[in-house]
Amino acid sequence: MTDSWKLTLRCNRAEAEALDTESAALAAIDPLPVLMTREGVEDDPDSWVLEAYFEDKPRAEAIRAVTSLVPSHVGKRPQPQRIADADWVTMSQAGIEPVHAGRFYVHTASNRGAVPQGAKAYRIEAGLAFGTGQHQTTTGCLLTLDAMKARGAVVRNLLDCGTGTGLLAFAAMHLWPQAFAAASDIDPVSIEVTRENAAANGVALGVNRGQLALAVAPGLDDAMLVGRAPYDLIIANILAGPLIALAPSIAAATAEGGTVILAGLLTTQADAVAAAYRRRGFRVAGRVTLGDWPTLRLVKRQRFAPLRASA
């Protein structure tokens, strides 16, 4: 196996969350590096790390391109580190601890650990799509789904909008195995990753009950997704801005009495996101907060009964 190289940059959480992997600067690098972000110091928003993995020693222009993604690091001189005779993908995942959230257990191939009794295990590799279960937004969604099932919620038609790795769609399908299920993402890579993860975890793809239908789409802008509406469960673990922008289309696609789970927002953004959905007929029915990351559970109100005639 040939040597690989790693470039480590200090950054902050805002930069890590806003990382632009489609930037023109990166497009000039061939082959593209694999980028991974993580907390350097737990719960410290100013202590995050960006790691870029290269197949060969990166040239100066490649280092400048990656450094430009995290402005707080501009002006510093990062030094690439050789990873000799190592499978860097496995190595990069070795420190990812399994996540146990409700009845779900999420792990990588290199760090499975002991699956808790009664837990549903999913193997989700860290890589090009968001949603390994490690981030508090994903964990919050898993806990919210678990609590819905525990309360006896019935779901017949569900959508995971912005699916990333497919994990949240898989979890919802496990809880409601006879439901129609769909997952979408604006990034074609995410949908390909979801296909691979579905195969690895025994999740059937297709358009029938108990199968997952996939679509590359911005939000719900896809004929298949619109045609399958209304949904009685929509999960959207994205970012606050897109969640607000999608409020009209998500509301239009949600059945009366249906549930929407929103995540990817910070505590400081929760009121604005909730307000956007209240204006579309939702009420906040529950909230799970992990660190600075809340997960909102909203329910679409039933229409008001017709006004009584005056006496």
CA atoms within 13 A on the CB side of 308: 2
CB neighbour class for 85 (10 Å; exposed up to 12, middle 13-18, buried from 19): exposed
CB 214 within 8 A of CB 136: no
* Residue 185 marked in a binding site: yes
Distance (Å, rounded) from C-alpha 107 to C-alpha 114? Answer: 10
Length of the chain: 311
Q: Is 257 helix (H, G, I), strand (E, B) or coil?
A: strand
What does 190-249 look like in DSSP terms, one character per residue?
HHHHHHHHHHHTTPPBSSSTT-EEEEE-STT-SHHHHHHPPEEEEEEES-HHHHHHTHHH
Reading the block at residue 137, the tokens are 């937004």
* Residue 206 marked in a binding site: no
* Residue 85 marked in a binding site: no
* Residue 163 marked in a binding site: no
What does 56-124 look like in DSSP terms, one character per residue?
SPPPHHHHHHHHTT-GGGTTS----EEETT--HHHHHHTT---EEETTEEEEBTTB--PPPTTPEEEE-
Distance (Å, rounded) from C-alpha 153 to C-alpha 89? Answer: 39
Instruction: Provide the annotated binding site.
Output: 138, 162, 185, 237
Instruction: Provide the annotated binding site for S-adenosyl-L-methionine.
Output: 138, 162, 185, 237
